[in-house]
Chain A
Amino acid sequence: MSKIIVKDLSKNFGKVNALKNVSFEFEENKIYGLLGRNGAGKSTLLNIMTNKLFPTNGEVYVDGENVCENDKVLSKIYCMMEKNLYLDGIKVKEVFKWSKVFYPDFDVEYSLTLADKFGLKINKKVKELSTGYSSIFKIIIALSCNAPIILLDEPVLGLDANHRDLFYKELIANYSERPRTIVISTHLIEEVADIIEKVIIIKDGELIMNDSIENVLSRGYAISGVASKIDEFIENKQVIGVDTLGGLKTAYVVGSLDKSTVPNDLEISKLDLQKLFIQLTNA
């Protein structure tokens, strides 16, 4: 069991409302995409979920217990943060050793295998790691700690395409072997779209979407073709966005589609998550 309930959560930083009365649930053993623009409140939410920040109002519960100052609950969560919370002088292999002490299920052998795959030198000091390798180092801890809840805040920050690909593959392999609740907060929506099962979108501190990827993408469709024909087709339809390139146009439409009404020279495709996100979160 590792169900997370976020209840009436608000967080103010002075006059800024980073989170506004947010309520939702993370179902157990699912991979979530936590999406939002810069400053939307994603990191604030993850920090409150892991007791690094205190909410102004509301609570977060894991398996029915409040996470606030609760060692038992906190030991079930591992949060990979953008900020490095490890000692500057400590070596990578020492962090692995201590992670095993704090998370008894930490798989040291697996962490060493991953370090080898990613080319992370375990004798290096944490402060000597580049941005990319610092992310890799934290990814390895997150994947190896075997906590029932893994929160990944910008996990692929600074990673090259090869390492990002390797990370997604390892994440899926790890999840298949040991399902758990995983929350990925990222800006690279297209890359995680095929991995995540559910999507949560936060805009200006408010929850604007919490649904399965299937449901989200079935809310509408994309239609492409000659601009004049597209304009004619989308008349009286709920269009959330349009891309124009020369004489061609793609319209993103919310609503059900009656295929018999679509002219032959127009092409229908799946609604793109990133496009939907951009349209939903544009001011």
Chain B
Amino acid sequence: MRILTSTKYQFSRARKSLIIFYGILIGVSIAISILNNAFSPGEAGSSNSIEMSSVIFIFVTGLNSFKSEFNFALANGVSRKTLFISSLLNLFSIATLMTFIDLIIGMIFSKISEYNSLFIGIYSGRYGTLKYTAENVLEGILWSVVIYTVVAVIGYLITTLYYRLNKGLKLTISIGVPVFVTIGIPYLDVVTKGKVSYNIYLFFAKALGIYNGASNPYMAVLSGLCAIAIIGGFTYLLIRRATIKE
């Protein structure tokens, strides 16, 4: 019962941001379509920016889903375990809602412009130029829900990790990770003649089911579920002993 109550509270917090986000997204998309038709009549535009914007939004939502909720939960007699489960349910609910909203927006925009969803773009080998058949809509929904949830739980893990770390470790990670990505990996690439980048590409291509000409979204769903379980496990380890900070 407390799980549902806590989920309801967290979802209510995200509702306002969702309304603002989609208001801006739809407004900007309509403006771009109008400008496109005005300045380049007859030319088709192409975009999958809706899903990319959604990915960024849900990542930020994940990042904003710990500290305030943790304090509020403890103030209202909710255990850390219940908070963790309800946070995952909340992020999953937001991912599902955003998937359906994105699908509807995509369907509408595909009527007025040359719109391709991110999903169809990635798995074009499976669906070709076909748009919105029952099969790819259902597979797209499943894929989107899982990928959005993965992105959200990554944000949730990062914010929880930062909450638990002391100042020194926070600083080390905040500097260390960008330095490793921007300098370390390119340096390792030079030393290994591109093997590092190639293996990173290989890992993601295989995880997404697009390696070597394959086009299998179910592989991405399976990988995503594994990622959610692993990231969720780490996050729970961080939350289970978290205490209120002064």
| Whole-angstrom CA separation of A45 from B76 in the bound complex | 18
0/1 interface trace, chain A 95-123, chain B, CB 8 Å (1 if under):
00011011100000000000000000000
Evaluate contact between A51 and B75: CB separation under 8 angstroms.
Answer: no
Closest 3 A/B residue pairs (Cβ):
A74-B77, A85-B75, A102-B76
Evaluate contact between B243 and A71: CB separation under 8 angstroms.
Answer: no
Evaluate contact between B244 and A52: CB separation under 8 angstroms.
Answer: yes
Contact A86 B75, CB 8 Å, known A52-B243, A71-B2, A71-B82? yes
Residues in B whose Cβ lies below 8 Å from that of A50: 74, 77
0/1 interface trace, chain A 53-83, chain B, CB 8 Å (1 if under):
1100000000000000111001111110101
| Whole-angstrom CA separation of A257 from B197 in the bound complex | 88
Contact A69 B78, CB 8 Å, known A54-B241, A54-B243? no
Distance of A54 from chain B, by nearest CB (Å): 7
Number of contact residues on A: which range applies? 20 to 34
Residue ranges of A at the interface with B (Cβ–Cβ < 8 Å): 47, 50-54, 69-71, 74-79, 81, 83, 85-87, 98-99, 101-103, 147
Evaluate contact between B77 and A71: CB separation under 8 angstroms.
Answer: yes
Evaluate contact between A69 and B81: CB separation under 8 angstroms.
Answer: yes
Question: Which of A69, A78, A101 makes the CB contact (< 8 A) with B79?
Answer: A69
Evaluate contact between A102 and B243: CB separation under 8 angstroms.
Answer: no
Residues in A whose Cβ lies below 8 Å from that of B77: 50-51, 71, 74-78, 102-103, 147
Evaluate contact between A51 and B72: CB separation under 8 angstroms.
Answer: no
0/1 interface trace, chain B 170-181, chain A, CB 8 Å (1 if under):
000000000000
| Whole-angstrom CA separation of A70 from B81 in the bound complex | 9
Evaluate contact between A47 and B76: CB separation under 8 angstroms.
Answer: no
| Whole-angstrom CA separation of A70 from B2 in the bound complex | 11
Chain B 56-88 residues near chain A, CB threshold 8 A: 68, 71-72, 74-82
| Whole-angstrom CA separation of A76 from B2 in the bound complex | 13
| Whole-angstrom CA separation of A83 from B79 in the bound complex | 19
B8 part of interface (Cβ distance < 8 Å): yes
Question: Which of A54, A79, A101, A147 makes the CB contact (< 8 A) with B5?
Answer: A101
Question: Which of A75, A85, A103, A147 makes the CB contact (< 8 A) with B74?
Answer: A85
What are 30 A-B residue pairs whose CB atoms fall within 8 Å in the complex? A50-B74, A52-B74, A52-B243, A53-B244, A54-B241, A54-B243, A69-B240, A71-B2, A71-B77, A71-B78, A71-B79, A71-B82, A74-B77, A75-B2, A75-B77, A76-B77, A77-B77, A78-B77, A79-B75, A83-B244, A83-B246, A85-B74, A86-B71, A86-B75, A87-B68, A98-B9, A101-B8, A102-B5, A102-B76, A103-B77
Residues in A whose Cβ lies below 8 Å from that of B8: 101
Evaluate contact between A101 and B9: CB separation under 8 angstroms.
Answer: yes
| Whole-angstrom CA separation of A22 from B40 in the bound complex | 78
Evaluate contact between B81 and A81: CB separation under 8 angstroms.
Answer: no
Evaluate contact between A102 and B81: CB separation under 8 angstroms.
Answer: no
Question: Which of A69, A81, A87 makes the CB contact (< 8 A) with B80?
Answer: A69
Residues in A whose Cβ lies below 8 Å from that of B9: 98, 101-102
| Whole-angstrom CA separation of A198 from B86 in the bound complex | 39
Q: Which residue of chain B is the closest to A101 with respect to CB atoms?
A: B5
| Whole-angstrom CA separation of A97 from B79 in the bound complex | 20
Question: Which of B76, B81, B240, B246 makes the CB contact (< 8 A) with A103?
Answer: B76
0/1 interface trace, chain B 46-64, chain A, CB 8 Å (1 if under):
0000000000000000000
| Whole-angstrom CA separation of A86 from B73 in the bound complex | 9
Evaluate contact between B243 and A85: CB separation under 8 angstroms.
Answer: no
| Whole-angstrom CA separation of A47 from B244 in the bound complex | 9
0/1 interface trace, chain B 2-18, chain A, CB 8 Å (1 if under):
10010011000100000
Residues in B whose Cβ lies below 8 Å from that of A83: 244, 246
Q: Which residue of chain B is the closest to A80 with respect to CB atoms?
A: B75
Extra pairs beyond A50-B77, A71-B82 (16, CB < 8 Å): A51-B74, A51-B79, A52-B243, A53-B244, A69-B79, A70-B79, A74-B79, A75-B77, A77-B77, A83-B246, A86-B75, A87-B72, A99-B76, A101-B9, A102-B78, A147-B77
Distance of A144 from chain B, by nearest CB (Å): 13
Residues in A whose Cβ lies below 8 Å from that of B72: 85-87
Residues in A whose Cβ lies below 8 Å from that of B5: 101-102
User: Which of A53, A71, A98, A101 has the most CB atoms of chain B within a 10 A radius of its CB?
Assistant: A71
| Whole-angstrom CA separation of A48 from B82 in the bound complex | 18
Q: Which residue of chain A is the closest to B79 with respect to CB atoms?
A: A69
Residues in B whose Cβ lies below 8 Å from that of A81: 75
| Whole-angstrom CA separation of A52 from B81 in the bound complex | 13
Residues in A whose Cβ lies below 8 Å from that of B81: 69
Distance of B75 from chain A, by nearest CB (Å): 4
